[in-house]
């Protein structure tokens, strides 16, 4: 697991110099995940009669909002870490992005975008939802290479040991590969959401299925996490993300019930089809 893929050598122009510039695997995987997800979502939007260019544009806004939101939540949860060096709050290349913060930021930005451009809100959300899971899978691979979001020490056959001195994980200590646990779970969520899309009953159903599924995944993976930045409560047993997972799961179930009821009411209000004589 190597955090840096390669470095662009230092270039000197007299008294002025540039570099060396490291190409980090974390950023590379996020970039790949974004490009793959937004291209696939745009293709899906075109099939559903929505302008794919709008989805491409929205993707840029969502990416920026997700980065800001995920970093902001990380900083808020770990304020003590940044008291002496506040500028470190902007050093996202060192790791420290909380997915739930990114999801909140992206959802808020997405709501603004679809309203501003008069897109069908829940239909658009359903199109994008599976590809959020896919993009997050790539992001977790980035975490794996960087060594952030690492697992607790273990003695199982599934353990991995980080050896690169530039890694954010503890070196020489076998730990659970929690990044890979979550990446695998997100790939399963991606496949499941695509399958559910074919049989959806109402707009918004796929979108709200995603946080419900992810909440279960994240709640389980958190028990194997070992990084101190996760935040702990109730005697160190429950993390910040697990508390958010419970809230997210409850909100998701409520929204699925509410949107489903609205669809049933609309269906009941329609006049019955007249039978042909």
41 closest CA partner among 175, 206, 205: 206
The string of pLDDT tens digits covering residues 204-236 is 999 999 999 999 999 999 999 987 666 677 766
14, part of any domain:
no
The set of residues, in sequence order, having a beta carbon less than 8 Å from that of 21 and lying 6+ positions away, is 7, 8
210 closest CA partner among 186, 178, 181, 182: 186
Q: Which residue has the higher pLDDT, 254 or 59?
A: 254
Contact assessment for residue 263 and residue 201, using Cβ atoms and an 8 Å cutoff: yes
Please tell me the predicted confidence (pLDDT) of residue 256. Answer: 96
Q: What is the largest CA-CA distance in the chain?
A: 92
pLDDT category at 21 given cuts 50, 70, 90 is confident
pLDDT category at 68 given cuts 50, 70, 90 is confident
Structural domain count of the chain:
1
55, part of any domain:
yes
Instruction: Read off the DSSP letter of residue 157.
Output: T
The string of pLDDT tens digits covering residues 143-199 is 899 898 899 999 888 999 999 998 888 999 999 999 999 999 999 999 999 999 999
275, part of any domain:
no
Please give the Cα distance from 97 to 148 (Å, whole number).
9
Min mean pLDDT across 29-33, 93-97, 217-221 is at 93-97
Please tell me the predicted confidence (pLDDT) of residue 276. Answer: 47
247 closest CA partner among 269, 274, 223, 214: 214
1 closest CA partner among 117, 172, 116, 125: 172
What are the beta bridge partners of residue 194? Answer: none
276, part of any domain:
no
pTM: 0.84
pLDDT category at 95 given cuts 50, 70, 90 is low
207, part of any domain:
yes
274, part of any domain:
no
R_g over Cα of the chain: 21
272, part of any domain:
no
Q: Give just the sign of the alpha carbon dihedral 153, 159, 160, 161.
A: positive
Cis status of the peptide bond prior to 20, with omega within 30 of 0: yes
271, part of any domain:
no
Identify the domain containing residue 77 by its residue range. 4-9+19-266
The string of pLDDT tens digits covering residues 230-277 is 667 776 678 888 998 999 999 999 999 999 998 888 777 666 655 544
SS3 of the chain: helix, strand, coil, percent, to 5: 65, 10, 25
Q: What is the mean pLDDT of the chain?
A: 86
């Amino acid at each position: 697991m190597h955090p840096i893929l390669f470095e662009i050598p230092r270039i000197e122009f007299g008294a002025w110099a540039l570099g060396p510039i490291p190409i980090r695997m974390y950023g590379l995987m996020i970039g790949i995940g974004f490009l793959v997800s937004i291209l696939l979502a745009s293709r899906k939007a075109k099939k559903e009669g929505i302008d794919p260019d709008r989805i491409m544009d929205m993707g840029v806004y969502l990416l920026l909002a997700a980065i800001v939101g995920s970093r902001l939540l990380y900083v808020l949860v770990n304020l003590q870490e940044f008291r002496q060096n506040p500028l470190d709050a902007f050093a996202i290349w060192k790791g420290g992005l909380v997915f739930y913060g990114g999801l909140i930021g992206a959802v808020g930005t997405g709501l603004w975008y679809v309203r501003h451009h008069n897109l069908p809100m829940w239909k658009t959300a359903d199109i994008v939802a599976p590809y959020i899971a896919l993009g997050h899978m790539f992001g977790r691979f980035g975490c794996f290479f960087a060594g952030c979001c690492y697992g607790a020490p273990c003695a199982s056959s599934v353990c991995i040991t980080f050896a690169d001195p530039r890694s954010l994980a503890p070196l020489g200590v076998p730990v659970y590969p929690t990044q890979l646990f979550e990446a695998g779970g997100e790939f399963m969520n991606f496949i499941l959401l695509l399958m559910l899309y074919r049989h959806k009953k109402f707009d918004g159903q796929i979108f709200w299925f995603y946080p419900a599924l992810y909440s279960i995944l994240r709640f389980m993976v958190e028990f194997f996490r070992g990084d101190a930045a996760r935040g702990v409560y109730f005697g160190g047993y429950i993390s910040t993300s697990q508390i958010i997972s419970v809230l997210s799961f409850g909100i998701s179930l409520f929204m699925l019930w509410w949107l489903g009821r609205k669809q049933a009411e609309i269906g009941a209000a329609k006049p019955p089809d007249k039978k042909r004589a």
